[in-house]
Every structure is written in structure tokens, then in C-alpha cells.
């Protein structure tokens, strides 16, 4: 009944908190969005972004409504029928693979996709085409946390749950402005502290953010100095006898080598590297180790670094050394940036993963997945991760790139290089919902995608909780759910390339894809192989591993999925960021989020309420730096790095330490020309996680004087 008001329970599409929402709709229109009081992750609460979701649902020209193809000669776009667009995509893929091999094809996906979307994309890349060149923008988000967990604890599995926030006595927040990036969790933490006045909060952040202002101890670390800080805290724990020797002996290995390593990281020596006073390092170490239960919450400040994996491991070491793990209120707990980066990891839709947290370098794992998918084998050539994918476009190792639900022509570092790569690609397919996405300008073929709240499927949030996402309204124009687009193209590719594989994509609905995906988790650390949609309807959102019931906390027995059952201390050293300050580039630049914007603003830019928080981009500098470079507040300023330059107003910000600048990540070339703020950032990556160093580069600033 079109006039009937419907209430649909779903999940917010922004951050990895994964808040439950109730969407009220009438016909094709969303009327309002409220927090779902029955969802265990948010219990009815929403932040400013979630509360404004209804304002972002559009059926107008702000959406990609029809398929379009670009004329290669004139550059002009024309609309084409959806079936012709699918034919063109399939023909291009098959021709390219025939001529140049499967690895000439690449897929660049998104943590916005649902698990079912990821699963079918992954099957198309690996089982149909035969390439491991599939990666996602989660590479910019959580891949250092993944590598950190796997190398120390043996599996990509955050051990704690949100309820541990209410049970912790000390909470260490590292590289996270939770008050802006995970606001509902931050509010939960503030309420927990009210209920437990003895709770201590330590915040490690170069900026005195809203989160840092709530801290009992704010450690304003020099960008890139985290490993030195964590090693120095461990040094204090060793020399003050604060270790849990029984836990180290019974549940870990490798401590002796690390103990030698951190001998030189005395607080006095480390303070020159990490910028934290020795006394504060000692205080942080004591609070961490002596607390009955210590929980660490961390995200991009650790992850987006050329030593992101080392930072994650050095923090996890503190938990292992003090036995702060596997008990209520304790543990290392990475906060996922995107709403379903976890689901993408579970589905294995990344160059370095296979479904069920398997490893594409393992023949055993490849064979397991091939057997479950019903194909002879999977490709063994290593896949190309996100940043390198654009290098591969430049040197023609990859010729056709299929981009879905992400905006690399704004979000990736070193934009001049990324844009050159997209321009030189043989063919770029962009599957997108929002007409404002800058990447559309580089597309040869545009496929109209449905988006929240038009899609159904599942997402997994930071605490391993799988929730149903439900469509509340139909998609506008000819937009389709991402999985349906992939299914249409995959069937056509199979008919031309490998007819016996067409049956691999005979799904009737999202539930079929989920059921197949869940079977691939059997026997793995995340095992939820008995879950299906009917059961999820009955249980509501559940945490994996799921065996008759969900799992709140991992490693309670002190045993780890590492082979020998012990968690590993890794002998990891300190490495400075890839760029260092110089006379020409004397300032360190760090990037981050604002409270009311999300990523490249394709969605939040549609909300008048959200735009009001901060309407224009600016570079933030400490007042003393503004005086040094003779910049007046709000003056137009040229900001230069080794890769490019932008012009935007400067704003005084005494929450920064002198010598450190801050740029919000959200604005692209429309606000400041030629690629936006990521013209400045660089593409150096972590050697284990391949995550780029978006949190640190060096810059120069001067007053802009138009010629």
C-alpha cells in the first residue's frame, strides 16, 4: 500500500560502530530515521550523521540514475540501456582477458558494500576471471589492524566487545578522535566513566581533540612516534616489575627478544622521538599495567602509517605483557572505520585474503575455497593491493579497472598520480550511486548503483556483530543493488569466456549469497557457517564466531589460533615516517575527519544540517606557526608538499602542537581544484599491510597572492 507508513529495521551506513536504525517510509520516500532501541550496539542512540540520514536519501539528479558510456573520441557521455551496459562491460572484460590475461583486470571495491556484494565480486574475480587483483578502500582503513592481529594473535579478530567499555577501569585511546569518528561509542564511554568515577582515560593523539579533552592523561605524540611511545611504556613495565609473568610464560612466546629490543627505549630516550615527557610515559605505563582491566581503542592514527602494523603490534604487546586480554573490560580493540570493512575481510575480497580469513598464498586454502565454489582451482599469482593497483594501471599490468562504491579520484593519496593512472587506463568501469563522486569523470562506463536504504544484505561491525541491512524504499531510476549488477555482468562474461561457470552466479536473492558465504567460514576462526537469514531474523544481530550462540570475548582461555597456541611478541623496531621535515618542508601534516562529514562527502554533502557544522575546508595551524609564516586567520594560504599544492583558508587552532598542521580529509577538487587535499599526501605504504601513510607528510605554507 503506497500510502502506508512502513518501519524497516536496518543499520546506519556510516561508521563501523554499526548502529541499528528504524527507517520510517511511505511509498518511495523516507520520512525519518531513528535509532533502534533493540539493537545491542547502540540501544537507540544515533550521532549527528545517523540522525540526518533521511536528509541524504534522494531520487533526483544528485543520484546516478542510468547507465552512461563515454565516447572515446569526443569524451561526451551518452545514456545506454542497462542490458547494453552489461554487454559492453562483459565484452570489454573478456576481450582484455583474452588478449592480456586475467591479471589485466582489477577490481577496486569499498567498505560501504554489503557482505553479499563483496562475496559475488570476489567469486567473479577469482573463480570466473582468475585474478587476485581485487582490493578495497578498506586498505586505507583497517589493513594495519588486520596485519597486527594476525602477526601477534594469529587471526584477524578484534578480541573485545562494546560492553567491555562499561567494564574497563583504564581505557587507552590511540589515534582515534572517537568523539567525531565513532560518536555513539564515545558517548557510551562517557556514560561508563560517570558510572565508574575511578576509570582512567589516556588519549594518544597529536591534537587536543574533543576526545583528548575528555582524557585524564593526554599524550600529544609527535606524528609517527607511537612505536617509540609503546616500547617506552613496555620498558617501564619491565623495570618496575609490572608484567604478568604467568601470562607471558603460559600464553605467549618471543618476549625475550622484544625485551632486549625495548631496553634502549627508556622514557628519557623515547621522549625525544615521540614528544611525550618521560614522567607521562611512566604514568601511562603504570595506569595501563596496574588497572584491573585495561581496554585499548584505536583506529586510523595507528593504521594509516608506513609503520602501521608495527604500531598495532607494539600496542598489542602491552596487553600481552600485562595479561590485559580475554577478560571482561580488557583487550586491544580496533574500531573499524567503515560500516562493513569487517564483512569485506570475512568475504576475503582483498588481494591478501580469501573467504573465511584464508590466505591466497596457501595452496590448501585456495583448494578449500575452489572446492566450495565448485571450480577446479583459484589463481596463485599474488594480487595487487589498492595503492599498487593504480601503479599497475600506469605501467599497463592492469588495463581494465572496475570501481564500485568508492571515490579513489579524491580519497587516495598522491592524487596527481592516481588521476594520471585513471586517465591512462584502457577502460574504467565505475559503479556508483552519487552523481557528485569525482571518480565518475574518469569512467568509460558508468553503472547506476542502489545505495542505503535501497539495498538488503548483511554487515559486520567492529565488535564482530553481524546485522541484517534491509531495503526500506526502491532504488531510483535504473539503479540496481551492487550484487545484481555483478551477477548480470558475470553471467555474460561466463557465457563468452567459460560457459560452464555461468551456474556459479545463479542466485535468486541476497540470502542465497549469504548462505554460500557462511558455509565458507566453517572450521575457521570466525565460523558462522550455521547462520542464515531465517536464523538471523530469529536471533537478531549476533557476534561471530557463532556456534549455537554468539561470542562476546575471544581468547578467554589464554590460547590463540597461532599454530602453537601462543600469542607472539614480535621483535619490532621503530621506523620514522616516510618523509621527514626539512628547511623546504618544515611542517608535519596530519589528516582526519570532522564530526558531521563522511569520507568524500558524496552522501553527507546532501544534508543541509550536516554541512552547517563546517561549511568550507581550511588548513589548521597552531597560532605560533601562523605568526612564523605571517598568516592571518582565514587568509588564503598556499600549501605545498613534494607532490603538489592547494590553496585554501588557514584557521588558527591551538589544539595542535606547534609544527603540526591538520587538514580534514573530506574536500576534493571542487573545493580547491585539482584533486583536493590528497594532492599533498603520499603513497608510501606499510610493508605488511600495504596501508598508505595518510596521517603524515611534510608541507610548506605561505600566503597566497594571486598573480
Residues at the contact surface with ligand SF4, assessed by CB under 6 A: 12, 14-15, 17-19, 42, 46-47, 49-50, 182-184
Query: Alpha-carbon distance 374 to 370, whole Å?
Result: 6
Q: Contact, 274 vs 225, CB < 8 A?
A: yes
Residues 6+ apart with CB under 8 A from 615: none
- How many residues make up the chain in this entry? 707
Which CB, 282 or 611, lies closer to ligand SF4? Answer: 611
In the complex with ligand SF4, the residue whose CB is nearer, 52 or 446, is 52
By beta-carbon proximity to ligand SF4, the closer residue of 461 and 488 is 461
92/338 with CB nearer ligand SF4: 338
Q: Between residues 16 and 224, which has the closer beta carbon with respect to ligand SF4?
A: 16
Nearer to ligand SF4 by Cβ, of 41 and 657: the residue is 41
By Cβ distance, which residue is nearest to ligand SF4?
A: 50
As measured in angstroms, the least distance from the Cβ of 184 to ligand SF4 is: 4
Residue 21 CB, shortest distance to ligand SF4, in Å, is: 7
Between 200 and 599, CB nearer to ligand SF4: 599
Task: Give just the sign of the alpha carbon dihedral 96, 133, 125, 393.
Answer: negative
| Burial category of 500 from C-beta neighbours within 10 Å (exposed 0-12, middle 13-18, buried 19 and up) | exposed
Nearest distance, CB of residue 41 and ligand SF4, angstroms? 8
* Nearest distance in Å: CB 186, ligand SF4: 8
Q: How far is the CB of 44 from ligand SF4 (least distance, A)?
A: 11
Please identify, using beta-carbon distances, which residue of 18 and 545 lies nearer to ligand SF4.
18
Residue 603 CB, nearest approach to ligand SF4 (Å): 11
Contact 299, 335 (CB under 8 A): yes
Q: Is 73 exposed, middle or buried (0-12, 13-18, 19+ CB in 10 A)?
A: exposed
Calpha distance 408→290 (Å, rounded): 45
For the bound state, the minimum distance from the C-beta of residue 18 to ligand SF4, rounded and expressed in Å, comes to 6
Residue 116: C-alpha distances to residues 483, 502, 546 (Å)? 7, 18, 18
Angle at 43 between CA 211 and CA 155, to 5 degrees: 70
- Is the Cβ of residue 20 or residue 355 nearer to ligand SF4 in the bound state? 20
**What distance in Å separates the CA atoms of residue 553 and residue 159, rounded to the nearest whole number?**
6
Alpha-carbon distance values, 462 to 22, 111, 145, 427, 494 (Å):
20, 12, 12, 35, 36
Cell numbers linked to 616: 568550507
- All residues at 6 or more sequence positions from 668 whose CB lies less than 8 Å from its CB, including other chains: 407, 409, 410, 438, 600, 601, 675, 676, 677
SS3 542: strand
- What minimum distance in Å lies between the beta carbon of 14 and ligand SF4? 3
CB of 53 to ligand SF4, least distance (A): 8
Amino acid at each position: 500500500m503506497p500510502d502506508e507508513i512502513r518501519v524497516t529495521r536496518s543499520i546506519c551506513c556510516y561508521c563501523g560502530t554499526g548502529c541499528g536504525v528504524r527507517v520510517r517510509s511511505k511509498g518511495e520516500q523516507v520520512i525519518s530515521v531513528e535509532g533502534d532501541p533493540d539493537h545491542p550496539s547502540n540501544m537507540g542512540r544515533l550521532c549527528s550523521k545517523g540522525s540526518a540520514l533521511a536528509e541524504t536519501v534522494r531520487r533526483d539528479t544528485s543520484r546516478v540514475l542510468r547507465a552512461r558510456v563515454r565516447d572515446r573520441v569526443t569524451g561526451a557521455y551518452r545514456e545506454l540501456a542497462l542490458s547494453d551496459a552489461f554487454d559492453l562491460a562483459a565484452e570489454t572484460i573478456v576481450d582484455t582477458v583474452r588478449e592480456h590475461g586475467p591479471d589485466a583486470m582489477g577490481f577496486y571495491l569499498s567498505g560501504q558494500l554489503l557482505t553479499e556484494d563483496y562475496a559475488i565480486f570476489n567469486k567473479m574475480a577469482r573463480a570466473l576471471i582468475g585474478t587476485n587483483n581485487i582490493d578495497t578502500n578498506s586498505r586505507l582503513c583497517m589493513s594495519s589492524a588486520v596485519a597486527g592481529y594476525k602477526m601477534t594473535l594469529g587471526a584477524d579478530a578484534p578480541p573485545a566487545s562494546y560492553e567491555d567499555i562499561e567494564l574497563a577501569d583504564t581505557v587507552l585511546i590511540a589515534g582515534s578522535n572517537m568523539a567525531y569518528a565513532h560518536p555513539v561509542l564515545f558517548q557510551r564511554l562517557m556514560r561508563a566513566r560517570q558510572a565508574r568515577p575511578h576509570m582512567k582515560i589516556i588519549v594518544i593523539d597529536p591534537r587536543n581533540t574533543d576526545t583528548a579533552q575528555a582524557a585524564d592523561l593526554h599524550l600529544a605524540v609527535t606524528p609517527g612516534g607511537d612505536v617509540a611511545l609503546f616500547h617506552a611504556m613496555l620498558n617501564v613495565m619491565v623495570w618496575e616489575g609490572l608484567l604478568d609473568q604467568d601470562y607471558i610464560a603460559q600464553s605467549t612466546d618471543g618476549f625475550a627478544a622484544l625485551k632486549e629490543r625495548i631496553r634502549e627505549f627508556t622514557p628519557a630516550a623515547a621522549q625525544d622521538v615521540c614528544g611525550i615527557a618521560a614522567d607521562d610515559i611512566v604514568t601511562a605505563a603504570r595506569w595501563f599495567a596496574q588497572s584491573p582491566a585495561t581496554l585499548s581503542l584505536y583506529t586510523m592514527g595507528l593504521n594509516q602509517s608506513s609503520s602501521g602494523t608495527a604500531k598495532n603490534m607494539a600496542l598489542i604487546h602491552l596487553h600481552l605483557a600485562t595479561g590485559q586480554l580475554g577478560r571482561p573490560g580488557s583487550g586491544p580493540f580496533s574500531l573499524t572505520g567503515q560500516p562493513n570493512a569487517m564483512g569485506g575481510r570475512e568475504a576475503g575480497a582483498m588481494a591478501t585474503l580469501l573467504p573465511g580469513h584464508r590466505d591466497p598464498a596457501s595452496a590448501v586454502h585456495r583448494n578449500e575455497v575452489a572446492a566450495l565454489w565448485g571450480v577446479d582451482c583459484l589463481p596463485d599469482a599474488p594480487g595487487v593491493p589498492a595503492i599498487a593497483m593504480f601503479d599497475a594501471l600506469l605501467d599497463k599490468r592492469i588495463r581494465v579497472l572496475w570501481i564500485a562504491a568508492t571515490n579513489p579520484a579524491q580519497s587516495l593519496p598522491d592524487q596527481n598520480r592516481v588521476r594520471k593512472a585513471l586517465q591512462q587506463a584502457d577502460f574504467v568501469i565505475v559503479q556508483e550511486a552519487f552523481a557528485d563522486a569525482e571518480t565518475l569523470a574518469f569512467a568509460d562506463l558508468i553503472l547506476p548503483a542502489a545505495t542505503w536504504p535501497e539495498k538488503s544484505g548483511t554487515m559486520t561491525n567492529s565488535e564482530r556483530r553481524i546485522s541484517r541491512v534491509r531495503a526500506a524504499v526502491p532504488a531510483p531510476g535504473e539503479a540496481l543493488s551492487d550484487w545484481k549488477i555483478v551477477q548480470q555482468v558475470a553471467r555474460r562474461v561466463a557465457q563468452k569466456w567459460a560457459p560452464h561457470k555461468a551456474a556459479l552466479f545463479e542466485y535468486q536473492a541476497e540470502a542465497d549469497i549469504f548462505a554460500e558465504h557462511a558455509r565458507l567460514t566453517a572450521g575457521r576462526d570466525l565460523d558462522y557457517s550455521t547462520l542464515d537469514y531465517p536464523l538471523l531474523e530469529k536471533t537478531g544481530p549476533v557476534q561471530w564466531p557463532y556456534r549455537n550462540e554468539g561470542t562476546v570475548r575471544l581468547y578467554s582461555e589464554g590460547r590463540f589460533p597461532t599454530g602453537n597456541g601462543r600469542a607472539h611478541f614480535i621483535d619490532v623496531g621503530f621506523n620514522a615516517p616516510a618523509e621527514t621535515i626539512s628547511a623546504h618542508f618544515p611542517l608535519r601534516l596530519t589528516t582526519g575527519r570532522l564530526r558531521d562529514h563522511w569520507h568524500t562527502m558524496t552522501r553527507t554533502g546532501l544534508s543541509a544540517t550536516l554541512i552547517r557544522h563546517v561549511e568550507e575546508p581550511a588548513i589548521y595551524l597552531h597560532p605560533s606557526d601562523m605568526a612564523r609564516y605571517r598568516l592571518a586567520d582565514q587568509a588564503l594560504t598556499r600549501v605545498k608538499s613534494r607532490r603538489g599544492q592547494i590553496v585554501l583558508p588557514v584557521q588558527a587552532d591551538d589544539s595542535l602542537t606547534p609544527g603540526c598542521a591538520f587538514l580534514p580529509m573530506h574536500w576534493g577538487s571542487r573545493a580547491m581544484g585539482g584533486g583536493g587535499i590528497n594532492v599533498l599526501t603520499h603513497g608510501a605504504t606499510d610493508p605488511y599491510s600495504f596501508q598508505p601513510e595518510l596521517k603524515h607528510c611534510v608541507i610548506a605554507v605561505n600566503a597566497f597572492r594571486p598573480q
